[in-house]
Amino acid sequence: MMHLPPIPAWESLHPLVIHFPIVLLLLSPLFLLIGAALSPAKGLPYRYAGLLILLLGTVSLFVAAATGEAAGELAERGGGVDAVLTAHENLASETRLLFVGLSVILLGMIALPRILHRQETRLSSTFMPLAYLVFYSVGILYLVNTAHAGGRLVHEFGVHAEMPASDGATSATATEAQEPAESRTD
Amino acid sequence: MNHAESPIGNKIKMVLVACTLILFAAGARAATTLENMQAAYNGESNAHARYLAFAGKADSEGYGQVASLFRAAARAEEIHAGNHAAVIRKMGATPAAKIEAPVVKSTRENLEAAIKGETYERDHMYPDFLSQARKDHNLAAIKSLNFAKTAEAEHAKLYSAALTQLDHLKGSQAGTYFVCPKCGFTTQELSFAKCPSCFTPKEKFEKIS
Ligand SMILES: [Fe+2]
Ligand SMILES: [Fe+2]
C-alpha cells in the first residue's frame, strides 16, 4: 500500500519549496500579458490572477530563502563551493527585495483605480502593465540567476539535500561531489 | 632442525587468531556521534583554555597582534564548545570535558602548535565526525560540527599568516578580530553582509582585540 513520505525537517525543505517561487513568478507575467491584450473590463480578472500569483510567489521566496539558509548551514565549505554559495545567497536576498518592490507596485497599480473610483482606461489596463513588465523582466533576470547558482551548487558541486532515512529521520547535507547524488534537487 | 607442528598446536593458534580478530573488530568499531560530540566538546574546551594562555604569553613577549588573534580564536572555540554541548544535551547526555593545564612555550612554538591542532581538526577530526553524523542523520550534530570545521580552517589560515609575519609583529599593538556569535567564524575584515558560514548579519559579530 502506498504511504505518504515522511515530513522533511526544515533544513531539508529547500529543494521542495524552491520550485514554487520559480513557477509562480514566471507565471504571473503571462497573466498580466493576457490582461493587457484584452479590453480593460475583460482583462481585469487576469490582472487580479497575475497579482495573486505574484503575491504567492513573493511569499514563497521568503520561505525558500529561509529554508535555503538552514540547508546552507549544513553544507561543507571549501573550494569552489564557497563563492557559488555566497553568490546564491546574495542573489536570493536581492531577488526577494526586487519582488517585494514589484508586488507593492502591482498592488498599487491595481488597487489605486478602485480606491480612487476611477474608470479603467487603456492606459491603466494595457500600457502601464506593459511598462511594468519591462521592470518585471529585471526580477526574472535575478530569479533565473539565483536558480542557476543553486543549480550549480547541486550539479557542479554535489551539494544536495538528503531525503529522510528509513527510520523517519531527516537531514540535509552537502557532501563532496563524488558522493552519490540521490534525491538531487535545485 | 626443522620439525612439523602438532595438529593440536595449530588448532590452538587458530583459536587465538580468531579471538584476537574478534576483539580487534569490537575495539575498532566506529565511534558513535555522541562519543564524537563529547570528544569535540573536550577538544574545543581545552583549545579555549590553551589559546587564552597563549594570548597571555604573546602579550608578555610583545606580540600584541598575535595575542588578539589567540583571544579571538579562544572565543570561537568557546562558541564551538557551547554549540557541541547543546547537541550533547539534546541527545540526552551531559557534556563532560577534562581541562588539562596548557603547555605554554614561546609564541612561535605556540603558533606552530596551534596550526598543527587546527589543521588536524580541519582535515581529519571534523571530516570524520561529520561523516558519522551524516550516517546517523543527526542534523544538529552536522550543523555544530560543520560550523566548527569551517572556523578551524579560518583559524589555521590566520595562525599561518601570523607565523609568517611573526618577526614584523614583534612590538605590535593589539589588533581587531571579529567572531561570529553563532558559529565562531573568525575574520579580520567584515568584507561580507552575512557570515559566510551561518548567515548571521555582520553587525552581530563580536569585536575582539
Ligand atoms: Fe578548535
Ligand atoms: Fe557564523
pLDDT value of position B12:
57
pLDDT value of position A162:
56
pLDDT over threshold 50, residue A156: yes
Domain membership of residue A2 (yes or no) is no
pLDDT value of position A5:
82
Domain membership of residue B83 (yes or no) is yes
pLDDT over threshold 60, residue B4: no
Q: What is the arithmetic mean of pLDDT over A68-93?
A: 92
pLDDT tens per residue, range B8-46 = 566 656 555 554 544 444 445 568 999 999 999 999 999
Domain membership of residue A106 (yes or no) is yes
Question: How many structural domains is chain B composed of?
Answer: 1
Domain membership of residue A93 (yes or no) is yes
Q: For residue B77, count CB atoms less than 10 angstroms from its CB and return exposed for 0-12, middle for 13-18, buried for 19 or more.
A: buried
**DSSP label of B199:** -
Q: For residue A164, count CB atoms less than 10 angstroms from its CB and return exposed for 0-12, middle for 13-18, buried for 19 or more.
A: middle
Probe site for chain B from A76, A93, A182 (most B CB atoms < 10 A)? A76
Of A3-12, A36-45, B91-100, B117-126, the least confident: A3-12
The cell numbers describing B59, all together, are 602579550
pLDDT over threshold 80, residue B120: yes
Q: What is the arithmetic mean of pLDDT over B60-64?
A: 97
Question: How many structural domains is chain A composed of?
Answer: 1
Domain membership of residue B16 (yes or no) is no
Mean pLDDT rounded to a whole number for chain B? 90
pLDDT over threshold 80, residue B69: yes
Check which CATH number belongs to the domain holding B69 and give it.
1.20.1260.10
Nearest C-alpha neighbor of B177 from the set B73, B80, B61? B73
Of the listed ligands, the closest to the CA of B179 is 2
Domain membership of residue A9 (yes or no) is no
Domain membership of residue A7 (yes or no) is no
pLDDT value of position A177:
33
Domain membership of residue B3 (yes or no) is no
How far is the C-alpha of B98 from the C-alpha of B19, rounded, in Å?
34
pLDDT tens per residue, range A127-152 = 999 999 999 999 999 999 999 999 99
**DSSP label of A120:** P
Nearest C-alpha neighbor of B34 from the set B148, B140, B121? B140
For chain B, report the end-to-end CA distance as a whole number of angstroms: 76
pLDDT value of position B198:
96
Contact B146, B86 (CB under 8 A): no
Q: What is the arithmetic mean of pLDDT over A145-164?
A: 86
Our measurement of the distance from residue A120's CA atom to the centroid of its chain's CA atoms, rounded to an integer in Å, reads: 30
pLDDT tens per residue, range B154-208 = 999 999 999 999 999 999 999 999 999 999 999 999 999 999 999 999 999 999 9
- Rg for chain A, CA atoms, rounded: 20
For B147, the domain range is 31-176
Distance B185 CA to ligand 1 centre (A): 11
- B49 in reach of chain A (CB within 8 A): no
Q: C-alpha distances in angstroms, B139 versus A11, B44, B133?
A: 8, 20, 8
pLDDT value of position B14:
59
Which residues in B lie closer than 8 A to residue A173 (C-beta atoms)?
134, 142
How far is the C-alpha of A25 from the C-alpha of A13, rounded, in Å?
19
* ipTM of the predicted assembly exceeds 0.85: no
pLDDT value of position A12:
87
Of A72, A165, A175, the CB nearest to B137: A165
Domain membership of residue B106 (yes or no) is yes
B130: nearest CA in chain A? Answer: A76
Q: What is the arithmetic mean of pLDDT over B91-103?
A: 96
Other CB atoms within 10 Å distance of the CB of residue B105: 13
pLDDT tens per residue, range A5-58 = 888 888 889 999 999 999 999 999 999 999 999 999 999 999 999 999 999 999
How far is the C-alpha of B169 from the C-alpha of A39, rounded, in Å?
75
Computed from CA positions of residues A142, A144, A150, A155, in that sequence, does the dihedral angle turn out positive or negative? negative
> Taking CB atoms and an 8 Å limit, are A82 and B196 in contact across chains?
yes
Greatest pairwise CA separation for chain A in angstroms:
62
Mean pLDDT rounded to a whole number for chain A? 87
Q: C-alpha distances in angstroms, B79 versus A77, A185, B148, B186?
A: 19, 32, 9, 11
Which residues in A lie closer than 8 A to residue B149 (C-beta atoms)?
76-77
Q: What is the arithmetic mean of pLDDT over A119-130?
A: 91
Domain membership of residue A54 (yes or no) is yes
pLDDT over threshold 50, residue B3: no
Of all residues in chain A, the percent with pLDDT exceeding 90 is: 69
Which residues in B lie closer than 8 A to residue A75 (C-beta atoms)?
146
Torsion of CA A44, A49, A52, A55, to 10 degrees: -100
pLDDT value of position B31:
80
- A125 in reach of chain B (CB within 8 A): no
> Best-predicted range by mean pLDDT among A176-185, B24-33, B134-143, B161-170?
B161-170
pLDDT value of position A170:
39
Domain membership of residue B60 (yes or no) is yes
Cell 490572477 -> residue: A49
